[in-house]
Chains A and B, each alone.
Chain A
Amino acid sequence: MPRSVGAELAGRLLLLVLVGLPMAWSVGYSVLYSFGLIGRLRSEQAAGTAWREAFAEPSLRRTAVHSVSVEAAATTLAVGLSLSVALAYPELGSSRWAQAALGTVLATPPAVVGFLVLQWASPGGFAARLARHAGLIDSPGDFPVWVHDERAAGLIAALAAVSTPAMTLFLLRMWTAARIGRHCALAESLGASRFQAKWCVALPMLWRRVRPLAALAFLGNLGAFELPLMLGRQAPEMISVLIQRRFAHFDPTQRPRAFALAVVSWLVVALALALWLRWQRAGGRFHA
């Protein structure tokens, strides 16, 4: 049904008021606070001090690289797992029980996922106990470090566990909606092997559809807080944890620096979002 111009204008206005305005407020407030123009410390610190301190933060570069690396690894793992499930078992899309199981994982709060990973994968966790009973280790200290570790293995697994169910449900739905099964069947009837049909027909169709979701999962997880706090290292820490630590610091002069870090984080993610949208508009290719 065609929409009127008035309805579209009203929709845009509503989008601006409900989403754009709170976001603009959030960023504007952060910028003003970081420059010492608002807040309780506005007369006590010279303008720009917080920014100089934020950029002088010794671990800032390592924190940024660590955050992006962990999120990229988690998103890659989530995409790989969900694509594997959709390609190997597309019939699960018609099973209500499979969807209920995925929904259960999807509805699990990140804090509970973090707790589960700690109980399973920490040196004193269930996996270590199983290894002890299997005679593989003698003490918790012999078990590989999977949480609060340098490679962030537990954190990556937990972040992937949070993102995978939504992607898997989406891909299973896409398999039916885009009739990918029929395309594969047609390819097989024309002489392709089952593997070739899935690799050369189904995978590109699914990949094209899951890309936007993967990008959103990546951007959204950059702001994740509970899991990095529970499972991540203290140095370098994830950017969201660093910002929160500065916010909650007992020294109130740290707050402008926290807002400066928040603005830097916002700028980086906003730039990534703008580039991604431009890439999408260009049909998946960058144009000069």
Chain B
Amino acid sequence: MTRTSGTSPTDLPPGTAVSGRHAKRASAAGRAIATGGAFGAGRATVAARTIAFASVLLAPYGLLLLLSLGSGWTFPNLLPNRLDAGPWRRWAAEREGLARSVATSVTLGLAVGAVATTVGFGLARSFRGPPTGGWRFVAYLPFVVSPVVLATTLYGPLAWAGLAGTALGVAAAQTVVALA
């Protein structure tokens, strides 16, 4: 038996056969309901969309790589004037200082992330449900104060504690913001 147009699958009696595009749509819908997945997105489609999506997102970074390969960039050249890997050679010559900067950034990031996540998890667990009213306002306060103002005003107490200009002082100030 063929389903008439405009009838939804749920109107059909048990055992009714559904054919044509309605059948395709109904079976795809059934599969999607069962799996919670998207319609008709096979593995190849997902892979192709992922590649296209990632390419669009990461393409702007290609310019950084291109510019890092040489020195000078006169208009309207698309490539650097001299492809001499100058920036990389300078980086290699100063790698000690750069390595220290990278190490400081990574250490600070990991430390702040670990402390803020642990404390934030503990805070969230201690509240029975999401904080409400004034407590919620307090939790969101770091979004309100500009980081420029926060850094300027926290400088005094951090200097008093001997932490101004130290990694620990920076981590302490960043943790306050990261806890929000």
Contact = CB atoms under 8 A, between A and B. Distances in A.
Contacts, number: 213
A70 B157 CA distance: 34
Contacts of A41: none
A91 B145 contact: no
A129 interface: yes
A265 B152 CA distance: 15
A111 interface: no
26 contacts: A7-B126, A8-B126, A8-B127, A18-B175, A26-B154, A29-B156, A89-B49, A92-B49, A92-B50, A94-B46, A95-B47, A97-B50, A100-B54, A116-B64, A130-B78, A132-B76, A133-B76, A181-B38, A185-B32, A188-B29, A194-B39, A219-B144, A225-B146, A225-B148, A273-B140, A281-B133
Contacts of A128: 75-76
Contacts of B127: 3, 8, 11-12
A18 B157 CA distance: 14
A154 B58 CA distance: 18
Interface stretch (B81-89, B91-99, B117-125): B117-125
A244 interface: yes
A190 interface: yes
Nearest to A108: B61
A266 interface: yes
Nearest to A8: B126
Interface stretch (A43-51, A54-62, A119-127): A119-127
Interface string B54-78: 1001101101100100000001111
A79 interface: no
A36 to B, nearest CB: 16
B67 A240 contact: no
A68 B142 CA distance: 18
Given A14-B122, A30-B149, A95-B46, A189 B33 contact: yes
A65 interface: no
Contacts of B138: 15-16, 19-20, 23
- Contact-residue bracket for chain A: 35 or more
Nearest to A241: B148
Interface residues of B, number: 70
Interface in A259-288: 259, 262, 265-266, 269-270, 273-274, 277, 281
Contact of B153 (A25, A176, A194, A244): A25
Contact of A225 (B29, B36, B147, B153): B147
Nearest to A33: B153
A19 B176 contact: yes
A200 interface: no
Contact of B144 (A139, A194, A269): A269
A184 B51 CA distance: 25
Contacts of A235: none
Given A26-B149, A26-B150, A244-B148, 16 more contacts: A3-B128, A12-B135, A15-B139, A18-B175, A20-B138, A20-B141, A23-B176, A25-B154, A30-B149, A94-B46, A98-B53, A102-B57, A105-B57, A185-B32, A186-B29, A223-B146
